């Protein structure tokens, strides 16, 4: 096949070279045809074989479950195995093939549609929900029948070729991304997605090259095609010529050498050339990310996105993690960080982080019942999370961070619920840190514009630039069609950012940035110039940012800041920021 190049949005840097592994979309459009009478038994056997393969797949997943995975995960696999063995899946479709001569896929889909319709009628919500389990089991069998890859190949045997595999998909949900955490994949390419969609963020946290917003890459790239991802340029080259491959291999080797050099900075304190210490913190999704954060030299966790404990639990017997399960996760994180502070953000569910894809019904989820709005609407769930976080605070320094606040009453209600949770723990005789610090995410323009409300009530602030940009510029951060409008250097964004940092400093309360801007070395000096002294980012970005800080001189940055913050013309802002970066760096 001739080589071709696709252009998209660069979201995670570096170069990946490997063979494509196509992830099939969840819903399959199957072929419908009638089987000649003499081939009916062969068709029946084809379906039986596919069902047996899925039984084996489920067994393998069950065997490979990490020891610390939630108990519900095992139960969920058991439920799927039971469904697969039930005559309604294991036998009725075979009868359909025999009686109606349908091909295996058609017979299976017919039966699943029939069962789904019956489930819709059921009044009991729990039983009704089992419909999605049946559909998932059906999809698994269909994918085996159609030969479409459905699950990730195991790399438990350390097969090196898996490490070079490039995952190509129409879209990958943040929850699905979690399954990549333990696997050594080379890179990601998706048709959908934007610079700061949560899928992109997880790809960066895995430190593997990725390009998103590729429109129809998953249709154009074939299983096992050779693929190069240039994560810096957002370019994907399919079936490259040998000379191109060679060139990229050299670039890849150089990047690896540069990265090794950065590793030497691990223990070096982050201090500007003129002696100002800067705090570098890690963003994490799960407690297991803590060793990586320590390894990168993080001084603590600036953002623990707790919603990742809640996501992707569709079909579980128990859909939300219990208070105890959460407590164990938070405790694990704070113990792993060995005395360094861990900032746990309360559940920030909604928009591109749905609890369950099937539940996303809001007309405009990014503006809907998400994050703190959802928590205040579900007080029992919120109280359980607050108690779990508070209980973990008895084991090390924890800070509580509330997302998406915009109104004074939301702050007051959140604080009141924290007090209520403390009271419940006191009554139960459970230990916690009574002086736990509580902070607010500043990520809605209204919050940045009414900062005195926050400064008065909160112990610290953390600016979520990802959402602040989304809401200031009215751009869906996950929508590739408007990705070109997502500009962190828009003067309105710079104004909100710099005024928040300045007001926090004036009031004497700590302000950090935990959005993706904090980990972008092109913007490190700009943020230093605004007065930012606390940056929270993926551990993988931390050493490069540290290097930039070590080469920066606050005195040299200061004279440029007025010009940048007053400018309105994007080209002027861009060139001033580039100049800022070039000036302090050694040639």
The 3-class SS string of 284-298 reads ECCHHHHHHHHHCCC
Between 58 and 311, name the residue whose CB sits nearer to Mg ion. 311
Between 72 and 443, name the residue whose CB sits nearer to Mg ion. 443
Helix (H, G, I), strand (E, B) or coil at 12: strand
Residue 497 binding result from Mg ion, ligand PEP, none, given CB thresholds of 5 to 8 Å by partner type: none
Residue 515 binding result from ligand PEP, Mg ion, none, given CB thresholds of 5 to 8 Å by partner type: ligand PEP
343 and 303 Cβ atoms separated by less than 8 Å? yes
Question: What residues from 127 to 146 belong to the interface with Mg ion (CB under 5 A)?
Answer: none
Residue 546 binding result from Mg ion, ligand PEP, none, given CB thresholds of 5 to 8 Å by partner type: none
As given in the structure block, the two tokens for residue 194 are 């934007």
Of positions 234, 464, 504, 529, contacts ligand PEP by CB under 6 A? 464
Q: Whose CA is closest to 567, among 555, 551, 579, 549? A: 579
Q: Does 465 bind ligand PEP (CB under 6 A)?
A: yes
Q: Does 514 bind ligand PEP (CB under 6 A)?
A: yes
Stretch that binds ligand PEP, among 100-108, 238-246, 458-466, 480-488 (CB under 6 A): 458-466
Least distance (Å) from ligand PEP to the CB of residue 548?
20
Q: Give the span between the Cα atoms of 5 and 229, in whole angstroms.
A: 10
Between 135 and 205, name the residue whose CB sits nearer to ligand PEP. 205
Residue 197 binding result from Mg ion, ligand PEP, none, given CB thresholds of 5 to 8 Å by partner type: none
Report how many residues bind Mg ion under the rule CB under 5 A: 3
Q: Does 285 bind Mg ion (CB under 5 A)?
A: no
Residue 352 binding result from ligand PEP, Mg ion, none, given CB thresholds of 5 to 8 Å by partner type: none
Least distance (Å) from ligand PEP to the CB of residue 441?
7
Q: Does 520 bind ligand PEP (CB under 6 A)?
A: no
Least distance (Å) from ligand PEP to the CB of residue 85?
40
Question: What residues from 329 to 348 belong to the interface with ligand PEP (CB under 6 A)?
Answer: 348
Between 229 and 401, name the residue whose CB sits nearer to ligand PEP. 401
CA distances from 557 to 270, 274, 523, 529, 551 (A): 17, 11, 12, 6, 11
Between 208 and 371, name the residue whose CB sits nearer to Mg ion. 371
Q: Give the span between the Cα atoms of 206 and 187, in whole angstroms.
A: 9
497 and 511 Cβ atoms separated by less than 8 Å? no
Q: What angle do CA 285, 289, 290 make, to 5 degrees?
A: 120
Stretch that binds ligand PEP, among 93-101, 416-424, 459-467, 481-489 (CB under 6 A): 459-467
Q: 210-212 and 9-12: which strand pairing?
A: antiparallel
Between 16 and 545, name the residue whose CB sits nearer to ligand PEP. 545
Question: What residues from 452 to 471 belong to the interface with Mg ion (CB under 5 A)?
Answer: 464, 467
Least distance (Å) from ligand PEP to the CB of residue 466?
3
Least distance (Å) from ligand PEP to the CB of residue 339?
24
Length of the chain: 587
Among the listed residues 80, 170, 198, 538, the single catalytic one is 198
Which residue in the block uniquely carries the two structure tokens 């992109």?
200
Of positions 467, 476, 520, 548, contacts ligand PEP by CB under 6 A? 467
Q: 511-513 and 15-23: which strand pairing?
A: unpaired
Q: Give the span between the Cα atoms of 565 and 491, in whole angstroms.
A: 7
As given in the structure block, the two tokens for residue 144 are 């085996």
Between 388 and 447, name the residue whose CB sits nearer to ligand PEP. 447
How buried is 496 (Cβ within 10 angstroms: 0-12 exposed, 13-18 middle, 19+ buried)? buried
Question: What residues from 389 to 448 belong to the interface with Mg ion (CB under 5 A)?
Answer: 443
88 and 324 Cβ atoms separated by less than 8 Å? no
Question: What residues from 415 to 454 belong to the interface with ligand PEP (CB under 6 A)?
Answer: 443
Question: What residues from 65 to 84 belong to the interface with ligand PEP (CB under 6 A)?
Answer: none
As given in the structure block, the two tokens for residue 5 are 């190049």
The residue of the chain with the least Cβ separation from Mg ion equals 467
Least distance (Å) from Mg ion to the CB of residue 349?
11
Among the listed residues 21, 480, 514, 538, the single catalytic one is 514
Q: Give the span between the Cα atoms of 109 and 119, in whole angstroms.
A: 15
Of positions 13, 131, 204, 305, contacts ligand PEP by CB under 6 A? 305
SS3 content of the chain, % helix, strand, coil (to 5): 55, 15, 30
As given in the structure block, the two tokens for residue 324 are 């105890």
Report how many residues bind ligand PEP under the rule CB under 6 A: 10
As given in the structure block, the two tokens for residue 457 are 């009530």
Least distance (Å) from ligand PEP to the CB of residue 92?
44
As given in the structure block, the two tokens for residue 471 are 């809401």
Between 112 and 347, name the residue whose CB sits nearer to ligand PEP. 347
293 and 337 Cβ atoms separated by less than 8 Å? yes
Least distance (Å) from ligand PEP to the CB of residue 514?
5
Least distance (Å) from ligand PEP to the CB of residue 253?
33
Q: Give the span between the Cα atoms of 577 and 522, in whole angstroms.
A: 8
275 and 283 Cβ atoms separated by less than 8 Å? no
Helix (H, G, I), strand (E, B) or coil at 556: helix
Between 374 and 395, name the residue whose CB sits nearer to ligand PEP. 374
**H or E element that contains 31:** none
Q: Give the span between the Cα atoms of 452 and 423, in whole angstroms.
A: 28
Give yes or no: 538 in active site. Answer: no
As given in the structure block, the two tokens for residue 429 are 């005789």
Q: Give the span between the Cα atoms of 77 and 41, in whole angstroms.
A: 30
Between 482 and 572, name the residue whose CB sits nearer to Mg ion. 482
Least distance (Å) from ligand PEP to the CB of residue 305?
5
Between 218 and 385, name the residue whose CB sits nearer to ligand PEP. 385
- Contacts of residue 355, defined as CB under 8 A and 6 or more positions apart, other chains included, come to 310, 311, 313, 319, 349
Handedness of CA 4, 195, 494, 279 (dihedral sign): negative
Give yes or no: 198 in active site. Answer: yes
As given in the structure block, the two tokens for residue 286 are 């799960």
Least distance (Å) from Mg ion to the CB of residue 403?
6
Question: What residues from 338 to 397 belong to the interface with ligand PEP (CB under 6 A)?
Answer: 348
Residue 465 binding result from ligand PEP, Mg ion, none, given CB thresholds of 5 to 8 Å by partner type: ligand PEP
Q: Would you tell me which residues interact with Mg ion (CB under 5 A)?
A: 443, 464, 467
* Catalytic (active-site) positions: 198, 514
Q: Would you tell me which residues interact with ligand PEP (CB under 6 A)?
A: 303, 305, 348, 443, 464-467, 514-515
């Amino acid at each position: 096949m001739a080589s071709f190049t696709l252009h998209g949005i660069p979201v995670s840097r570096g170069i990946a070279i490997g063979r494509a592994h196509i992830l099939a979309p969840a819903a399959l459009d199957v072929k419908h045809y009638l089987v000649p009478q003499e081939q009916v038994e062969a068709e029946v056997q084809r379906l039986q074989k596919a069902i047996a393969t899925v039984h084996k797949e489920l067994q393998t997943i069950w065997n490979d479950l990490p020891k610390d995975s939630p108990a519900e995960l095992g139960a969920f696999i058991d439920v799927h195995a039971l469904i697969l063995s039930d005559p309604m899946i294991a036998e009725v479709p075979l009868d359909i093939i025999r009686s109606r001569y349908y091909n295996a896929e058609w017979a299976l889909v017919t039966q699943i549609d029939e069962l789904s319709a019956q489930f819709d009628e059921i009044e009991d919500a729990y039983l009704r929900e089992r419909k999605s389990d049946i559909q998932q089991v059906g999809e698994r069998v269909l994918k085996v029948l159609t030969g479409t890859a459905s699950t990730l190949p195991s790399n438990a045997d350390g097969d090196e070729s898996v490490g070079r595999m490039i995952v190509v998909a129409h879209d990958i949900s943040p929850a699905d991304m979690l399954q990549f955490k333990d696997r050594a994949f080379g890179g990601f390419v998706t048709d959908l997605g934007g610079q700061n969609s949560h899928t992109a963020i997880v790809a960066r946290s895995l430190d593997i090259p990725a390009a998103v917003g590729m429109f129809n890459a998953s249709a154009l790239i074939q299983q096992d095609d050779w693929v190069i991802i240039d994560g810096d340029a957002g370019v994907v080259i399919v079936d490259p010529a040998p000379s191109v491959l060679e060139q990229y291999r050299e670039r890849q080797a150089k990047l690896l050498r540069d990265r090794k050099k950065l590793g030497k900075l691990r223990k070096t304190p982050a201090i500007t050339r003129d002696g100002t210490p800067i705090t570098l913190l890690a963003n994490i999704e799960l407690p297991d990310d803590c060793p990586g954060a320590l390894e990168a030299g993080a001084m603590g966790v600036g953002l623990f996105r707790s919603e990742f404990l809640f996501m992707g639990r569709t079909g579980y017997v128990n859909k939300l993690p219990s208070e105890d399960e959460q407590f164990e996760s938070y405790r694990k994180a704070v113990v792993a960080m060995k005395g360094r502070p861990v900032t746990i953000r309360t559940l920030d569910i909604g928009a591109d982080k749905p609890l369950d894809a099937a539940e996303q019904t809001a007309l405009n989820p990014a503006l809907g019942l998400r994050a703190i709005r959802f928590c205040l609407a579900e007080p029992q769930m919120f109280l359980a999370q607050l108690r779990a976080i508070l209980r973990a605070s008895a084991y090390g320094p924890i800070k509580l961070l509330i997302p998406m606040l915009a109104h004074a009453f939301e702050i007051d209600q959140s604080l009141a619920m924290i007090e209520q949770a403390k009271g419940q723990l006191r009554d139960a005789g459970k230990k916690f840190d009574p002086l736990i610090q509580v902070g607010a995410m500043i990520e809605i323009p209204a919050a940045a514009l009414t900062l005195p409300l926050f400064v008065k009530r909160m112990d610290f602030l953390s600016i979520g630039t990802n959402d602040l940009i989304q809401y200031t510029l009215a751009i869906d951060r996950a929508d590739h069609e408007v990705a070109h409008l997502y500009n962190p250097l828009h003067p309105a964004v710079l104004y909100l950012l710099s005024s928040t940092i300045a007001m926090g400093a004036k009031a004497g309360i700590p302000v950090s940035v935990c959005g993706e801007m904090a980990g972008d070395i092109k913007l490190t000096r700009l943020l230093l110039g605004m007065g930012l002294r606390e940056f929270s980012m993926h551990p993988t970005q931390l050493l490069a940012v540290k290097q930039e800080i070590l080469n920066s001189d606050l005195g040299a940055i200061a004279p440029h800041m007025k010009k940048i913050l007053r400018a309105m013309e994007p080209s002027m802002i861009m060139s001033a920021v580039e100049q800022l970066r070039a000036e302090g760096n050694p040639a």
